[in-house]
């Protein structure tokens, strides 16, 4: 039971899986240089009710060749598209054909998320800058989405595969 008048979400055991790609593989072979949401997790209003909650996201991905630089990006907002707030875009080394990333997102306030710790990002060419607040739609009153995208630096023929996308909330 909440200790205040406003109901809020609480993970039953301290951690609750919100979304998993499961055994599915999402391949991207068209519009390779344009970011597009490949998978997303809905974040209901009030889910990140306190600064004690964090979203944990894990993604694994690969590409078919070693020609292009692959970028993975995270978006958060109510549109469930790349017009939402860009939380983080990370480029992979062009010769890396696979990667894995783990990210943690905390509520700063009703309209702000913070990346408090960058987590792991294998094969990354980018130095991450945690602790920057990203403005997002109101977490208390808006259904938001945490979306993941992949795209390439050029349009050479390479297929990108999203093989894992798990999102959980932890208290």
The predicted structure's pLDDT at residue 52: 73
The predicted structure's pLDDT at residue 54: 85
Measured between alpha carbons, how far is 149 from 153 in angstroms, rounded to an integer? 13
The percent of residues above 90 in pLDDT, for the chain, comes to 27
> Which of 90-99, 106-115, 134-143 ranks highest by mean pLDDT?
134-143
In the block, residue with structure tokens 């960058």: 118
pLDDT interval class at 63 (50, 70, 90):
confident
Residue 62 or 155, more confident:
62
Residue 3: Cβ within 10 Å count = 5
Is residue 131 over pLDDT 70?
Answer: no
pTM equals 0.84
Measured between alpha carbons, how far is 81 from 117 in angstroms, rounded to an integer? 24
The predicted structure's pLDDT at residue 156: 75
Comparing 98-107, 112-121, 146-155, the range with the smallest average pLDDT is: 112-121
């Amino acid at each position: 039971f909440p200790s205040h008048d406003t109901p809020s979400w609480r993970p039953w055991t301290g951690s609750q899986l919100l979304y998993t790609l499961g055994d599915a593989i999402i391949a991207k072979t068209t519009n390779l240089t344009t970011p597009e949401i490949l998978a997303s997790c809905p974040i209901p209003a009030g889910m990140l009710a306190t600064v004690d909650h964090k979203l944990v996201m894990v993604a694994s991905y690969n590409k078919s060749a070693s020609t292009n630089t692959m970028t993975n990006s995270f978006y958060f907002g109510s549109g469930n598209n790349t017009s939402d707030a860009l939380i983080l875009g990370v480029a992979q080394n062009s010769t890396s054909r696979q990667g894995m990333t783990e990210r943690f997102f905390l509520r700063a306030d009703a309209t702000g998320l913070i990346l408090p710790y960058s987590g792991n990002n294998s094969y990354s060419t980018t130095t991450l800058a945690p602790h920057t607040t990203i403005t997002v739609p109101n977490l208390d009153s808006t259904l938001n989405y945490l979306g993941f995208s992949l795209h390439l630096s050029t349009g050479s023929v390479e297929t990108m595969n999203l093989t894992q996308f798990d999102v959980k909330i932890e208290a």
